Amino acid sequence: MQAALGGRQGDIMDLGLAGKKALVTGGTKGIGGCIAEHLAREGAAVAVCARNPDEVAATVAHLRGMGVPATGRAVDVTDGPALAAWVADAATEMGGLDIVIPNVSALAISNDDAGWKAGFETDMMGTVHTIEAALPYLHESTCGAIVIIASVSGREIDFAAGPYGAFKAALIHYAQGLALNLAPKNIRANTVSPGNTYFPGGVWERIEQHMPDLFAKALSLNPTGRMGRPEEMARAAVFLASPAASFITGTNLVVDGALTRGVQF
């Protein structure tokens, strides 16, 4: 297992998020769980969803224990009507929405019909339906922000070429279109593209255990000698969601420790 390196994980950035209302899909573990926690550390109210009701309940209790309003529901983001109903209910419960962070991914790697269908319904349409349901509330915010969690696989061809990479690339394109069209409404839209991110229970831990050659190859590609941590991805997403990033929109922020080689202009 790679060594855990650097940084105080409880840092507060003071980004002007106190009192803001944020919604995170897939917000119970991994990158999404860290995003929800960092938003709460900054004083934001947080709504989370995931498919496991016990994990949702535990996350909501944890966030409330940090002294902020929190709510959550077990939702499958491929169920458009259920997803829209939860977004509306969360906005009503919190008194509005300022921030929406679609984070859920099917992690569809297999290049078959099932993989393409899962990637489209979860990554693509799950994101679109979340944002469409949230837009009426974001229009009422004075600092509306959308941050979509994409991937470095959306900008370079790697082992995840196929549905995962293709739909992550599509999400970056979608976010930049949102940025242009929503700028006059004072709503920003950006993406964060994480590199390989290691955490207990995550995909890279499973690969380490069951596909050690692939894990070793992936680890060797990063000049830092390690994979990212979910809190490192979360800090980037929370910054872009915050009023501190008030003039940043249409940006794809790559957080990968120099893993990717392409120059991003």
CATH number, position 143:
3.40.50.720
Q: Give 13's pLDDT tier (boundaries 50, 70, 90).
A: low
In a domain, 104, yes or no: yes
Q: What percent of the chain has pLDDT over 70?
A: 95
Return the structure tokens found at 223.
Answer: 């000049």
Active site residue 198: no
pLDDT of residue 219: 93
In a domain, 214, yes or no: no
In a domain, 16, yes or no: no
* Domains contained in the chain, number: 1
In a domain, 135, yes or no: yes
Choosing from 137, 164, 174, 198, the catalytic residue is 164
Q: Give 265's pLDDT tier (boundaries 50, 70, 90).
A: confident
pLDDT of residue 264: 80
Q: Give 263's pLDDT tier (boundaries 50, 70, 90).
A: confident
Name residue, tokens 């990033």.
Answer: 245
pLDDT of 206 higher than 60:
yes
What global pTM score does this model have? Answer: 0.93
Domain of residue 172: give its range.
21-200+230-254
pLDDT digits (tens, 9 = 90+) for 137-190: 999 999 999 999 999 999 998 887 899 999 999 999 999 999 999 999 999 999
In a domain, 213, yes or no: no
The average pLDDT across 196-203 equals 93
Q: What percent of the chain has pLDDT over 90?
A: 89
In a domain, 5, yes or no: no
In a domain, 187, yes or no: yes
The average pLDDT across 46-60 equals 98
In a domain, 172, yes or no: yes
